[in-house]
Amino acid sequence: MRKTLFMYLLREQAGTVFLCLAGVSFVLITGQLFQVMRILIASSCSLSDVGQVIAFAMPKLTLYSAPMAVMLGVMLAFGRLNGDNELVALRAAGTGFLSFLPAVLCILILTTTLAFANSILIMPFTNDALDIKLRSLGRTSIPVLLKEGVFISSVPKLVFFFKSVDHSELTMKGVFIQDQRQQQEKVTITAESAELVIPPDTKTITFRISNGIISRTAESLKDAQVVSFKNYDFTLLMDELLGRVTKEVKRRKDMTLAELTQQIENAKDAWNKQFYGVEYHERLSFPAACLLLGLLGPPLGALFRQNRITGATIGVGIFLSHYIIHSAGTSLCENGVLSPFIAVWLPNMLGFALAVYLWAKMHTEKPFTLISKLEPLLERIVSKIGMRRRTA
C-alpha cells in the first residue's frame, strides 16, 4: 500500500512540477529576450544565435523560477487529488497526511539537488558565456546601427549623427557625437570624418575621428573648453553599447562559490564583505527554497477543495511575499542593518516555519479558522475577476 501510494504521488507531482517549471521559465526567458531585442534585431542574428542566448540565460532564470515552479507544481498536484476526493478517500482509509511526506520529499530533494548543481556548477560559466555572446552580437550590430542623416540615441547617454556612412568601409563623414556619460560635464565632438575600428579580440570599439573640434561644458554652464584636433580616438566599451556598467574586476555573478568566498575573506571593508556575501548566500538560498517552500504545496493544495484557483492565488501571494522580504532584506543588508545570512535566508526560514505549521494542522485535522473565513472572500474576488474578463 505504501509503495503504491508513494509511486502514485510521485507520478502526480512530477508532471505538474515539470509543466510549471517550463511555464515559469518561458515567461522569464521571454522577458530576457525583450531586454536584448534591440541587439538581436540590429545584428540580424540567426536562430542559432537566439538559441544560444536562451541556453546561456536559462540557468540564471531557472535559479529564480525553480522555487516557485516546484511549490506550484506540488500544490496543483495535491489540489487535483483533493478536487477528485482522492485525499478524502485516503484519509478515510486511515492514511495520515504525514504519509504523503516521503513522496513529496523525494520530488523536492531531487529538484533541490538539481537547483544546487545549476547554481554552483553551471550558472557562473553560463553567465560569462551569455555576456560574451551578447558582446559578439553587439559587435556585429554596430554597422547596422550606423545610419546616416539620423540621430542615433540607442546607446545610453550617447548621441551620434553621421551625414553620410559607407557601411562597407565603416567610414563616416559629417560626424557629431554628444557624450553625457560623465555627470559633471557634457562633451560634444564635431568632425569632418571618422572610421570605425572593431578589434576582434577586445571588449572595445573605437571611432578614429579626423579634423574636428571637442567642446566640454560643465554641468553648471560656468566653464567651457574648446579644443581642435587632427586625430582623436573615441573609445566605447562593448558593455556600454549593451547598456551595462562594467569594472575591470570579475563580476560577482560570474564568480564561483570559491571565488566569492575568497572575495569575502579578502574584503577590506564591510560594504564589500556584504556585497559579495549577498551573492554567496543567494547561490545557496534559492536552491534551498525548492525544498523549504515546496513543503507549502501539499497543505495549500489540500486546503481548498471547491476552488483550486484560490489555493494557487495564495501560493503565488506567498511567493511574491518571499521576494518582497528578500528584496527588503538585501536593501537593509546594503545599508549595514542586517547580515547577508539573515537578509537572504529570512524568507526561507519564514516559509519553512509556515510549512511546518500547515503540515501539523493537516495531520491533526484541526480546522483552520482564518482560512475558512478567507476562502469565501477569495472565491468572490476570483469570480469577479473572471466575470470582468468575460465581459471585456
Q: Is residue 392 part of a domain?
A: no
Cα torsion 67, 69, 71, 74 to 10°: value is -140
Q: Is residue 19 part of a domain?
A: yes
One-letter amino acid at 195 equals E
| Average pLDDT of span 164-174 | 87
Question: What is the residue-averaged pLDDT of the chain?
Answer: 82
The answer to whether residues 166 and 127 belong to one domain is: no
Does the pLDDT at position 171 exceed 60? yes
Sheet holding 204-218, edge to edge: 158-166, 171-179, 185-197, 204-218, 224-237
The answer to whether residues 162 and 129 belong to one domain is: no
Are the beta carbons of 44 and 139 closer than 8 angstroms?
no
Q: Is residue 151 part of a domain?
A: no
CB atoms within 10 A of CB 140: 16
Using CA atoms, how far residue 375 sits from 38, 161, 247, 380, in Å, is 45, 61, 51, 9
325 is written with which cell numbers? 522580504
Out of 184, 212, 241, a domain closes at: 241
Does the pLDDT at position 384 exceed 70? no
* pLDDT tens readout for residues 50-61: 888 888 989 988
The answer to whether residues 268 and 338 belong to one domain is: yes
User: What pTM was computed for the model?
Assistant: 0.70
* pLDDT tens readout for residues 91-112: 888 888 888 999 999 999 999 9
The answer to whether residues 167 and 133 belong to one domain is: no
For 166-224, the three-class secondary structure string (H helix, E strand, C coil) is: ECCCCEEEEEEEEECCCCCEEEEEEEEEEEEECCCCCCEEEEEEEEEEEEEEECCCCCE
| Cβ-Cβ contacts under 8 Å for 229 (sequence gap 6 or more) | 209, 211, 212, 213, 214
Task: Tell me what pLDDT residue 240 has.
Answer: 66
Side-chain-side CA neighbours of 242 within 13 Å: the count stands at 23
**Cα distance between the two ends of the chain:** 50
| Average pLDDT of span 331-354 | 91
249 is written with which cell numbers? 574586476
Mapped onto helix, strand or coil, the DSSP state of residue 41 is: helix
Out of 211, 241, 271, a domain closes at: 241
The answer to whether residues 217 and 300 belong to one domain is: no
CB atoms within 10 A of CB 330: 19
Expressed as residue numbers, the domain containing 217 is 156-241
The answer to whether residues 124 and 177 belong to one domain is: no
Mapped onto helix, strand or coil, the DSSP state of residue 49 is: helix
Q: Is residue 143 part of a domain?
A: no
The answer to whether residues 26 and 92 belong to one domain is: yes
Compute the distance between CA of residue 313 and CA of residue 72 in angstroms, rounded to an integer: 10
Mapped onto helix, strand or coil, the DSSP state of residue 161 is: strand
Number of domains within the chain? 2
* pLDDT tens readout for residues 275-299: 899 999 999 999 999 999 999 999 8
The answer to whether residues 14 and 124 belong to one domain is: yes
Compute the distance between CA of residue 182 and CA of residue 197 in angstroms, rounded to an integer: 23
Task: Tell me what pLDDT residue 115 has.
Answer: 94
Task: Tell me what pLDDT residue 211 has.
Answer: 94
Compute the distance between CA of residue 121 and CA of residue 124 in angstroms, rounded to an integer: 7
Task: Tell me what pLDDT residue 248 has.
Answer: 46
Task: Tell me what pLDDT residue 246 has.
Answer: 47
Compute the distance between CA of residue 309 and CA of residue 160 in angstroms, rounded to an integer: 52
